[in-house]
Structure 1
């Protein structure tokens, strides 16, 4: 026999954003703040010699937003980020704007990656170090899966050349960002769970 949940029962948090009280107004604020965060992290740029794609903090921002907000809010945040940048606001990597050039595929891949990471996080994909590493790895894979074909089209590159300039130089940075996320996200959940028990 099932027992209906009491109105006073604390709901189980699916993602970190659910810890914040509120509903629609909360979601709007979180989506706009997340878009701004991604825009801010995109300004951390390290050019890669021989590659039209720089190393940025943007991918870390996208994956963090995905895990913290869940797939719907993350997709909305990335949609806002892309739409506003496409209209001319210079908050893509290094203060650029418009959906043109070698990085367009990566930007579109980030929208999908944010949604995927958010979906995985809502199923516990950011609760432990091992799960977080797997979640972030899949998010990065999605970014490359869309970004590399975009780079091939924009630059007229072969698959091998696109992998050489559009993936290989970023693998160490991706590993470092994943390690950072694996430390931050499970730690945040530990604090949340401790707060609920106290």
Structure 2
């Protein structure tokens, strides 16, 4: 039977794998994966005085994310080498200084994942998008419980296994009722998140 050096090296030992031709990238999955699951958790705080934001709201955040890669690698060899990704998120924002009230809903985001640092197992990304939130903060300044969010941010993933990465992320996060009711105080905030993702 014809030998398959890469497969043999993988089965024999991890050390052989590290020097075998197929190990070039311990991380080929990010360049070839079709989808991504991720879970993020962290902290958010509004910026009073930024725009019309007057109320301090601090949140404990938990976000489930599912991603679809929309392209193969684009721009190989350039600084922007990467892949388009569509992200769907299901967030829960627990407002710790508003008697543990919540905001929850859904986000649709577009993302660009840079793949040019694959040798270092690093995958920076940027994203932007928006969604709809049910806001139960008990703030009369917000006018309605059905609100809208737009947001954008950046993050970085570090591959710790063939298909698994840890991640850190910052995002600017806006919530308001988009003028559908009065009053309409927006919540402009920063969110700092960490998480783990799986590629498949």
TM-score, normalised via structure 2 length: 0.29
Determine which structure has the larger helix proportion and give its number. 1
TM-score, normalised via structure 1 length: 0.29
Larger gyration radius, structure 1 or structure 2: 2
Determine which structure has the larger strand proportion and give its number. 2
